[in-house]
Amino acid sequence: MKKIILFILILLAVIGLTQTRRQFSSIRTGGDIRFKTIHGETINMADLTGQAVLINFWASDCLPCLEEIPQLAALRRDLPTLAIIAVAMPYDPPNRIIELANRENIPYAVALDPQAEINQAFGGVNLTPTWFLFDKNGRLIKKELGRLDWTQLRLTLQELV
């Protein structure tokens, strides 16, 4: 009986990973995705050609997301040519995101996505944090679910910026 339960759990995990891979397979370039920031600015992904871009889908109730804010701020400081855009999940109330961004003095772009348009453009992100890294030509080179390996990310970024 334990073997059957274990088999079912493994099967469900494999199905989940397959669904996630399929979800991301449609993302190849950032294209003409537009981000509306909490400061009312519009950032067009196409306008970021020529610089590496790190997109972070996050939520105000996601502990790993909140713990990574200082590391993202350090990246912003250390790599000023890297574009960083944190996209709040559609279910997150805009006032909570704005309050949190102001309280934490977030130095990178924070975008709202109440209609899930950005979320859908990235294949329907369901888990936070979810990361996308694009090269200077706008090609997707890395996608990650969960906490990042910051040492590895910095090594990758040194090659890109």
Q: Are 84 and 108 in contact (CB under 8 A)?
A: yes
By CB neighbour count within 10 A (0-12 exposed, 13-18 middle, 19+ buried), where does 2 fall? exposed
Higher pLDDT, 159 or 105: 105
Reported pTM? 0.82
- DSSP characters for 25-81? HT-SB-TT-EEEETTS-EEEGGGGTTS-EEEEEE-TT-HHHHHTHHHHHHHHHH-TT
**What is the percentage of the chain residues whose pLDDT exceeds 70?**
81
Q: What one-letter code names the amino acid at 82?
A: L
Give CA–CA dist 137/150, Å, rounded.
23
2 confidence band (pLDDT: 50, 70, 90): low
In the chain, where the domains are located: 2-160
Query: What is the token pair recorded at 112?
Result: 């709202």
Looking at domain 2-160, what is its CATH homologous superfamily? Glutaredoxin (3.40.30.10)
Q: Tens of pLDDT along 50-86?
A: 999 999 999 999 999 999 999 999 999 999 999 999 9
Q: Report pLDDT digits (tens) over 90-108.
A: 999 999 999 999 999 999 9
Per-residue confidence band for 27, with pLDDT thresholds at 50, 70 and 90 = low
